[in-house]
Structure 1
C-alpha cells in the first residue's frame, strides 16, 4: 500500500509550525540524568520511537521515569545499575550511547534491534570499551553482549570514529563515571558531524563535568567525578525543522518555526544551506522564517557538519535547474539505510540524474515524474519524499510510519504546512 506524501495545496505556503524537541538533546539528556548524582527534570522532551526506546532501555538498567506533563519528565538515577536486554530499534544513539553505561552494571546486557540496525557500524565504539577494560561478546555488530562488572577502568582509548561521531559521544557521556576518567582520541580520517560532539561536550560541562579538548586536535580528556543533576529545557530539533523550512524553496511562500537564540546544534549550517539553495532567511527573536519563490538554486554543498541534511538537500538539488553536488557525507552509507545508494536509486527511478561519489552525490538537472518513492524505513528519506511531492504530481511514499522515529506527528505537521489541517 502506498501513501500520499502530502495533501494537495493551493498557492504559496503560509505556515507557522511548532517542531518538537531535539532527538539528540533528549537522548543525551535522558542518559546524563540516569548517570547523575540526583534526580533531574527535563522539559520539552521529544516523544518519538527513538526516545521511547532510550527511556525503556534506561528503565531496564535501573533508572526511574516519572511523567509530570505531556513533555516533562523526572528522571531518578539508580543507586546501582542493573543489567538486562536492550532493544535499540534502528537508533544509532541507543546502540552507541548505552553500552558504556551498561558496562557500569553488574552482569551481562544483550543489545539487539531491527534487522537494518545489524548493518549499522558499532565496532569502533565497542573496541573503545574493550580498551577501557570492558569485556564484549561479538563486538563486530548487533547483537552483542556487554559484560558489566559494576565499574569501568577507563583511561586511554584510541578509536577511528570516521564512520560516526556517535562513537565519540557515546564514550564521552559516561567517561566521568569511569574510575580513571577518559583520555579519548580519534585516530582516523575526517571526523563527521562535529556539532553533535559539541552538543555532548556542552551538556557534560553544564552538569559540572571537567572535559578538555585542545583546539584543532580530536582528543578529549574527561576527569573522573560525579555528573551533576540539572533541570533543563530541550531545544526544538533544528534538523527536523529544516524539512519544513525547505518547503518554500519548492512551493513558494514562507514558513516560520521557533529557533533558539543560542544553540550548539548546527543552526548556522542549516540556515546557510537553505540560503545557498535559494531561500531567504529572516531571523527574529526566538524564531526564523524562510521565504522561497518555488525555484531551487543549484549549489555545491559541504554537509560534513550536518550530514542529516543530506536527504532533503538531495531532493532539493534534484529540482534545481543547474548541476549541484553534496560532499562530506560518505559516512551516511552506514545510517538507517545506505542513504547515498537509496537517494540515487529512488530519485533516478523518477527520472533524476544522480551519481554517487566517494563522499557524496553529483546531481544534474532533470524532470521528475510520478511514481512511488521508497523510504527504505528511513525517516530522512521520507522527509525528502515529502518535499518532492510538493513539485511532482502523482508522487507517493510507500511508508510514512518510519517518520515516528524522530517526529511522531509528521503527517499532521505536514498537513498544517500545506494548509489543510
Structure 2
C-alpha cells in the first residue's frame, strides 16, 4: 500500500505516549502557523522592499523554505529573542520572540532546493524559481517523489516556463528560470491539492501579465488555505479577484504589481492546537491556547465547532481559546473536505467516542505525507479499533482499545493522533515521534508540560 511502509533504523525509536492519570488543566502556547510562515516568506522574498516576520514557526518545513530562498539569493536575517526580565520577549507575547528580516534580491541560479516532504516548499517554490535567472533543481525525501506536482508543472509550462521532470509530473525536477515569466490565463485541475492554486497566486504579482487561474476539476479541497493566500496577497498590496468576493466560481485573478514589505506577526498554528484541545476532550479537562485569533483563515479554527459537536465547550477571551471537555465524547458525521489536515486527531478522538463517526470528503488525504486514510485505519485497528475506509473517508466504530505500537510513516499528524489515544489507553508507543518537528518543534516537551501542569498548577504557564 503506497506510503504506509513502516520506518526502520533510527526512525523506528519508540516513544511511550504519556498516560493521563487525571483531567488535564493547562495553558499551552502553540508555535506559529506553518502555512502563514511559508506564505509570508514567499511574499516577503518577492516584495519590493525588506519586510519582517515576527514569531515565525521554526520547524523543518519552514527552515527548508528559508534555506531554499537563501539559495536563490534572498537575505533572511534571524534575530535572537531576548527572554531576560522586562524584555517583552517571552514566548507567546505578541511583541516579543524571534523575528526574521527578509531582504529581497535578484533571484538567481544555479541552485538546489531540498523540499524534504513539505508540500508548501515543493509546490510554492517552482513558480519563484521560474522568475530566477538560472536553473533550480528540486529534490527531497523519498515520499516527496510520490506526491502530486503535475498541477504546478503543467501550469508553469503553459505560462511560459521550461521544466525538466522526465515526464513524471513529480520530483525530482529542474526549473530553468529565465528571469521573468509571461503569466496570463491557465487552466488546472487542483482537486488533489489546493496548494496548486496557492502556488501560482503567490508569485503572480511578479508575472508580466499576472495570472488567471481557472480550476477545472472536481471540488477543491482545503479552500480555507486558498482564502489565506488571497488575504495575505491583498495585505501585501496585490490586486486579487477571488470567488468568495463575488468573483467567478473557481477562478482567481491576480494583477501584476509590486508587493509591499510587511511587518507580519504570525498567528499560532491552530491545526497544531488540535491534539491539545483533543486532550481536554478525551480526559474531561481544560486547555487554554493563548493568542487564538478572533478572525482567521486557518482551517484549524474549525476545531471550535467540531470538538464542541463531539461533546466539549469553548470560550474565546483575551486570554485565548479555552476548551473544556465534559467527560463524554460523541461521535460525529462530518464532511472534512475543507479542513482535511485535522482528520488524524479527529479520527483519534472518534475512536474513543461512545458512538459511531463518519468522516467524509477527504479522499485527497491519500496523497498527503502518507496515505493518511489507510494509515489511520491500520494503526487504530491494530490497537483494537474498528475503522474502515470508504471511498472518500473513514467510518469509525468505537471499541475498547489496548496498547501497542502506533506507526507514524514519517507523518507528523499521525504521531500527534497516536499521542491523543495514548492519553487514555495504557501502553501506546509512538514510532518516530521526532517526525512532529516537521511543523511542531518539541512536541514531546509540550505534551509532557501539559500533563505536568495538571499535577502542579502553580507551575502552569
Cα deviation digits, residues 271-294 of structure 1 (max 9, x gap): 111111111111212511111133
**2:199 match:** 170
Deviation at 1:155, TM superposition (A): 0.4
1:71-93 Cα deviation digits (max 9, x unpaired)? 20100011343341110001000
Q: Secondary structure at the match of 2:338?
A: coil
Cα separation, partners in 2 of 1:117 and 1:294, compared to 1, 3 Å: farther
Equivalenced residue count is: 421
In the alignment, is the contact (CA less than 8 A) between 1:83 and 1:148 conserved in 2? no
User: Match for residue 39 of structure 1?
Assistant: 50
Which residue of 173, 180, 192 corresponds with 1:151? 180
Find the aligned partners of 1:359 and 1:305 in 2 and give their Cα distance.
Answer: 13
Report the secondary structure of 1:419's partner residue. helix
1:199 correspondence with 2:228: yes
Which residue of structure 1 lines up, in the alignment, with residue 326 of structure 2? 293
Normalising by structure 2, report the TM-score: 0.89
Partner Cα separation in structure 2 for residue 37 and residue 5 of structure 1: 49
Matched with 1:393 is 426
Q: Which residue among 255, 272, 283 is the counterpart of 1:251?
A: 283
Contact kept, 8 Å, 1:269 with 1:305, in 2: the verdict is no
Paired residues of 2:403 and 2:426 also in contact (CA < 8 A): yes
Select 1:337's aligned residue among 358, 363, 370. 370
Q: How far 1:108 sits from its partner (Å)?
A: 1.4
Gaps of 5+ in 2: 1-11, 82-97, 454-458
Q: 1:183 aligns with which of 198, 212, 227?
A: 212
Q: What do you get for the CA RMSD once the two structures are aligned?
A: 1.3
| SS state at 2:193 partner | coil
Within the alignment, does 1:403 sit opposite 2:436 as a pair?
yes
Could you tell which deviates more after superposition, 52-61 or 134-143?
134-143
Per the TM alignment, residue 264 of structure 1 is displaced from its structure 2 partner at its CA by: 1.7
1-side partners of 2:326 and 2:319: how far apart? 24
2:253 alignment partner in structure 1: 221
Match of residue 11 from structure 1: 22
Deviation string 1:13-64 (CA, Å, 9 cap, x unpaired) is: 1100110000000000111110000100110100000000000000001101
Cα distance in 2 for partners of 1:31, 1:402 equals 24
Report if the CA contact (8 A) 1:370-1:394 is conserved. yes
What does residue 355 of structure 2 align with?
322
Unaligned 5+ residue runs, structure 1? none
Residues 83, 102 of structure 1: 8 Å contact kept: no
1:270/1:306 contact within 8 Å kept: no
Question: Aligned residue for 1:98?
Answer: 125
**C-alpha distance in 2, partners of 1:350/1:266?**
29
Q: Which residue number in structure 2 is paired with residue 241 of structure 1?
A: 273
In the alignment, which of 312, 315, 322 is matched to residue 279 of structure 1? 312
If the length of structure 1 is used for normalisation, what is the TM-score?
A: 0.97
| Distance in 2 of aligned mates of 1:198 and 1:385 | 30
Indicate if the aligned counterparts of 1:250 and 1:292 stay in contact, CA closer than 8 A. yes
> Is 2:135–2:174's contact at 8 Å kept on the other side of the alignment?
yes
Aligned partners of 2:77, 2:58: CA distance in 1, in Å?
A: 14
Q: For 1:356-375, what aligned pairs fall within 5 Å after superposition? A: 356-375=389-408
Equivalent residue number for residue 155 of structure 2: 128
Divergent runs of 4+, >2 A? 1-10, 79-83
